[in-house]
Chain A
Amino acid sequence: MKRILVLSLALVAGFAAAVVIGKAASGPQVVTAKAQWVDYYRTPTGLVAGADLIVVAKHLSAQPGRVVGSVPYTLNGFHIQEVVKGVHDGPALLVEQTGGRAGEIIVNIDDGGPFEEGRSYLLFLKSQGNGLFYQINHQARYELQGDVMVGVDPTDAVVAAFHNREIGPAVRFLRDRAERVK
């Protein structure tokens, strides 16, 4: 009886693995990318000073954007829940992100990759001057898991300052720094 149970479990596990591998193999081609960012900050205060807009916002949608040369962009729609620094007209926020889907190719850059619909993020953004914003770099994005912020690359000193910290005290800290760097 025990042997049958073990064999059955092995069978189910093998089936599940085959489904997962099969799905991965038949999915779109993933292109992985690394960037040399325009702005890199050595302190959290520097990051605050460099951002035009700091918000806590909920991701609503991702639409294919422009393609320049061979670089595709994604237009991410957010609902602003809290403005921490800067001014934004209304709660609807558009963030243009390098990468996304171009035909059967997905370009995944090291800024944290595609945003997850329904998730909230703390974002440090720069304005493109046309109503669109972009994420400054890999230091500029924190996913909220409950009240806890999760950064993209915790080996980075600035990211480590926020990573696994609670959002409430972090927002108070950021507001304080935003006032100081005015």
Chain B
Amino acid sequence: MTARRLLPLAIAFLVGSSLGTGYVYANHPWICSGTTAYHYTPRTVGYNGPSAETSVSRPASAYTGAYTRSINIWNPTVINLTSGGTKLQLRYGAYGTNGWLGLATISGISSCHIGLGKSQLNDTYLRNTGTYSQTAVDHVACQEVGHTFGLNHNRTSSTTCMNDTILTAGAQINQHDRDLLSSIYAHVPN
């Protein structure tokens, strides 16, 4: 086979593999580099909180309860969440009129390993119980915690809190989330 024949094949393969990668990952893992997602190592993640960063108007139990349900839903995955640690901070507060209900931040990144994850729920909006039911608060808490494990938004399913186009899933994740976490953490020790 000549180089002239091989070149189009190679180009086609590269284009195909590139498109294939985009499809398989469909903006669901939170990509760090190439196809590698941000992730903790080891898989046992100690968290602290939930605790308030400012005074809040909605009863604090709305946020602490939402985080408790999030922990309960993520814990049976490959992630082992333990109370009293320093790797994940669960926070809530009235952060202002800024456009977001919840925020997930990751820092101390080294070789795509997450040093510190933080989830924050914004009481400035979520205090409005007429607009934001407890299910909505649970949805946001579940999503922000999920982000800190290396998951991105999933806009194709209504059965997961990782969908940022809805607020109706509550503290619910689906098999795709579980499978993706298993894939991301396959090489990570417990």
Contacts and interface: CB of A to CB of B under 8 A. Distances in A.
Interface of A: 29-40, 42, 66, 68-71, 73, 96, 98, 105, 107, 109, 111, 126, 128-129, 134-137, 155-156
A134 B107 contact: no
Interface string B92-112: 011111111111111111000
A30 B102 contact: no
Those 8 A-B pairs whose CB atoms lie nearest each other, nearest first: A69-B53, A35-B100, A31-B107, A33-B105, A36-B102, A69-B93, A36-B101, A128-B97
Contact of A68 (B54, B106, B164): B54
Contact of B97 (A39, A70, A134): A134
B101 A136 contact: no
Interface in B137-162: 139-140, 143-144, 147, 152-153, 155
Interface of B: 27, 30, 38, 53-54, 91, 93-109, 118, 120, 125, 139-140, 143-144, 147, 152-153, 155, 164-165
B106 A32 contact: yes
B99 A137 contact: yes
Contacts of B94: 68
A129 B165 CA distance: 26
Contacts of A68: 53-54, 93-96
A67 to B, nearest CB: 10
Contacts of B91: 69-70
Contacts of B95: 68-69, 71
A71 B54 CA distance: 11
B147 A34 contact: yes
A111 B30 CA distance: 15
A interface: dominant SS? strand
B107 A71 contact: no
Given A31-B107, A32-B38, A68-B95, 19 more contacts: A29-B108, A30-B109, A31-B106, A33-B106, A34-B103, A34-B144, A34-B153, A35-B99, A35-B100, A35-B101, A36-B139, A36-B144, A39-B99, A68-B54, A69-B54, A69-B93, A98-B99, A126-B99, A134-B98
Nearest to B147: A34
B142 to A, nearest CB: 10
Contacts of B54: 68-69
A36 B143 contact: yes
Contacts of B99: 35, 37-39, 98, 111, 126, 134-137
Name the residue in B104, B105, B118 with the highest tally of chain A Cβ atoms < 10 Å from its Cβ: B105
B188 to A, nearest CB: 19
A7 to B, nearest CB: 28
